């Protein structure tokens, strides 16, 4: 069985503006009432689609998707063996899952998640 995409992130320099934009554009419910001001997105897709997050990062704008895996380090090791590069080693999100990130050979950031 393959690993499913289970989360997405939209990141840019103005998180509030992005949250407002996507909320109005697609009717998504976005709750950023948390210490990290991370906008948890409920797309209201039911059993279709996935939910995600919208946040701010002063370094630029990008979109990342997260793939659910059983072993974060093993997935990072395999990504590197195939030409990728680890950009964030495994870490636990407070009150949430464990995540990691790597870049693919084209430079795209891909997230990994365990325990979502």
Q: What span, in angstroms and rounded, lies between the C-alpha atoms of 77 and 100?
A: 11
Q: pTM of the predicted model, to two decimals?
A: 0.83
- Residue 21 token pair: 């934009």
CATH hierarchy code of domain 5-114: 3.10.180.10
Q: CB-side exposure of 67: number of CA atoms within 13 Å? A: 13
Q: What is the mean pLDDT of the chain?
A: 92
Query: Average pLDDT for residues 15-35, to the nearest whole number?
Result: 93
Domains of the chain, residue spans: 5-114
């Amino acid at each position: 069985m393959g690993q499913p995409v289970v989360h997405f992130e939209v990141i840019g320099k103005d998180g509030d503006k992005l949250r407002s934009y996507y909320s109005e554009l697609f009717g998504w419910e976005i709750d950023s009432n948390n210490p990290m001001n991370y906008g948890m997105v409920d797309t209201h897709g039911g059993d279709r689609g996935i939910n995600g997050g919208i946040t701010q990062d002063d370094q630029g704008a990008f979109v990342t998707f997260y793939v659910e895996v059983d072993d974060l380090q093993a997935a990072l090791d395999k990504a590197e063996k195939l030409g990728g590069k680890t950009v964030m080693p495994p870490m636990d999100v407070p009150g949430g899952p464990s995540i990691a990130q790597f870049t693919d050979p084209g430079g795209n950031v891909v997230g990994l998640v365990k325990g979502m």
